[in-house]
A and B are shown apart, each in its own frame.
Chain A
Amino acid sequence: MTQAEAAGAPAHKYLPIDIGGIDLAGPSQWLRTMLLIREFETTLDALSMSGKIPGGVHLSIGQEAVAVGIAAALEPQDLVACSHRSHHHAIAKGLTPRSVMAELFGKATGCRGGRGGSMHLGDMSIGFLGGNGIVGAGLGIAMGASLGSHLRGEDQVSVGIFGDGGANTGRTWESVNIATVWKLPLIIVCENNKYAVETQTERLTGGGSISRRAAGFGLPVRTVDGQDVAEMYRATHEARDRAACGEGPTFIEAKTYRYEGHDTGQIIRYRTAEEVEDWRGTKDPIQRLRIALQAVGGLADEAFDQMAQNARETVQDAIAFADESPFPDPSEATRDVTAVDLGLGNVR
Chain B
Amino acid sequence: MTPVTYSQAFREGMREEMARDDRIFILGTDLLDRGGHFGQVLGLGKEFGAERVRDMPISEAAMVAAGVGAALNGMRPVVDLNFIDFSFGAMDEIFNQAAKVRYMFGTPLPLVIRGTSGVALYGAQHNNSLESIFAHMPGLLVAVPSTPTDTKGLLKSALRGDDPVIFMMHKRLTGTRGEVGGPEDLVPLGRAAVRRSGGNVTIVAYSHMVFKAMEAAERLAADGIEAEVIDLRTVMPLDIETVAESVRKTGYLVAATEAPCFGSIASEVAARIQETVFDWLSGPVVRVGARHAPIAHSPALFETVIPQSVDIERAVRVLVARAES
Contact = CB atoms under 8 A, between A and B. Distances in A.
Contacts of B106: 112, 115, 124, 336
B101 to A, nearest CB: 8
Contacts of A144: 65-73, 77
B196 interface: no
B314 to A, nearest CB: 32
Contact of B73 (A133, A145, A178, A337): A145
Contacts of A338: 102, 138-139, 141, 163
Given A122-B105, A339-B108, A141 B238 contact: no
A139 B93 CA distance: 11
Contacts of A342: 190, 236-237
B96 A137 contact: yes
A116 interface: yes
Interface string B93-105: 1001100001111
Contacts, number: 147
A116 B106 CA distance: 10
Given A137-B93, A175-B61, 19 more contacts: A115-B103, A124-B72, A124-B106, A137-B92, A137-B96, A140-B97, A144-B72, A145-B69, A151-B70, A170-B61, A171-B61, A178-B62, A336-B106, A338-B163, A339-B108, A340-B141, A340-B190, A342-B236, A343-B237
A147 interface: yes
28 contacts: A122-B105, A124-B72, A134-B96, A134-B97, A137-B96, A140-B64, A142-B69, A143-B65, A143-B69, A144-B68, A144-B77, A145-B72, A148-B72, A151-B52, A171-B62, A171-B92, A174-B59, A174-B61, A174-B62, A177-B57, A177-B62, A178-B62, A181-B57, A336-B102, A337-B103, A339-B108, A343-B238, A343-B241
Contact of A140 (B68, B141, B241): B68
A340 B138 contact: no
A90 interface: no
A5 interface: no
Contact of B93 (A140, A151, A340): A140
Contacts of B93: 137, 140, 171
Contacts of A112: 104-106
Task: Say whether chain B's binding surface is mostly helix, strand, loop, or mixed.
Answer: mixed
B281 interface: no
A141 B59 contact: no
B132 interface: no
A336 B96 contact: no
A161 interface: no
A130 B102 CA distance: 12
Contacts of B74: 148, 152
Lowest 3 A-B CB distances belong to which pairs?
A144-B69, A140-B65, A148-B73
Interface of A: 79, 81, 112, 115-116, 120, 122, 124, 129-130, 132-134, 137, 139-149, 151-152, 158, 170-171, 174-175, 177-178, 181, 336-343
B199 interface: no
Nearest to B58: A174
Contacts of A340: 141, 161, 163, 189-190, 237
B193 interface: no
A343 B92 CA distance: 26
Contact of B68 (A124, A141, A146, A339): A141
B65 A137 contact: yes
Contacts of A133: 96
Given A112-B105, A143-B66, A144-B69, A178 B139 contact: no
Contacts of A339: 102, 108, 161-163
